[in-house]
Amino acid sequence: MKLWTMREIMTETGTTESALRYYNEKKVVTPTIKESSGRRRWLYSEDDLQKIKLIQMMKFIGVSVGDMKDALAGEEHFGAVMRKSIAMLEAEKKRIQDRVKVAQRLAQLGIEGSIDAWDDFNNNKE
């Protein structure tokens, strides 16, 4: 079984050393730590590598480290975390769409018309 050094993991995944140390501290991914000549070497298994790749994808979609840890606990937990993430992303998408509508309306109205539209905006925002 191949063991990956921290540097190899960083190269393979684009993860930083500080992120790997943080994931270890939070017990999301815990490498094997070997002492050699007074130096500590962090070694990762193939399974660890796959987890780190998954963590990178979850990070991209805004999953918290706590939820990442839960997600890695098994398929049932993973599904729950993904459903939660989808709901959060859908809500964010709605907020962005609402902002785009306001920006488009402001662009249509110009400065003077935009100032006059305050009451409509203030009464219609969520």
Q: Please report the pLDDT score of residue 37 as a whole number.
A: 74
Q: How far is CA 123 from CA 31, 37, 58, 107, 115, in A?
A: 54, 69, 37, 19, 14
Last residue of a domain, one of 45, 73, 101: 73
Q: Report CA dihedral (85, 68, 23, 30) to the nearest 10 degrees.
A: -160
The answer to whether residues 105 and 69 belong to one domain is no
CATH for 20: 1.10.1660.10
Please report, rounded to a whole number, the percentage of residues in the chain having pLDDT higher than 90: 69
The answer to whether residues 103 and 56 belong to one domain is no
The answer to whether residues 9 and 59 belong to one domain is yes
For residue 42, give both structure tokens: 């962090």
Enumerate long-range contacts of 99-104, CB under 8 Å, 24 or more apart.
none
The answer to whether residues 35 and 93 belong to one domain is no
- Cα atoms in the 13 Å half-sphere on the side-chain side of 44: 24
- Does the residue 83 lie in any domain? no
**Helix (H) or strand (E) run with residue 33 in it:** strand 32-36
Tokens 């918290």: give the residue: 64
pLDDT tens-digit map of 15-37: 999 999 999 999 999 998 777 77
- Range picked from 91-95, 105-109, 116-120 for highest mean pLDDT: 91-95
- In sequence order, the β-bridge partners of residue 33 are 42
Task: Report the mean per-residue pLDDT for the chain.
Answer: 90
The answer to whether residues 14 and 45 belong to one domain is yes
The answer to whether residues 17 and 58 belong to one domain is yes
- Does the residue 78 lie in any domain? no
Q: What is the domain count for the chain?
A: 2
The answer to whether residues 62 and 98 belong to one domain is no
In 3D, which of 79, 59, 61, 60 has the Cα closest to residue 71? Answer: 79
Q: Among the listed ranges 28-32, 45-49, 58-62, 112-116, which one has the minimum average pLDDT value?
A: 112-116
The answer to whether residues 93 and 41 belong to one domain is no
Q: Please report the pLDDT score of residue 126 as a whole number.
A: 53
- In sequence order, the β-bridge partners of residue 41 are 34
The answer to whether residues 67 and 16 belong to one domain is yes
pLDDT tens-digit map of 52-79: 999 999 999 999 999 999 999 898 999 9
Model's pTM, two decimal places? 0.79
Range of the domain at 50: 1-73
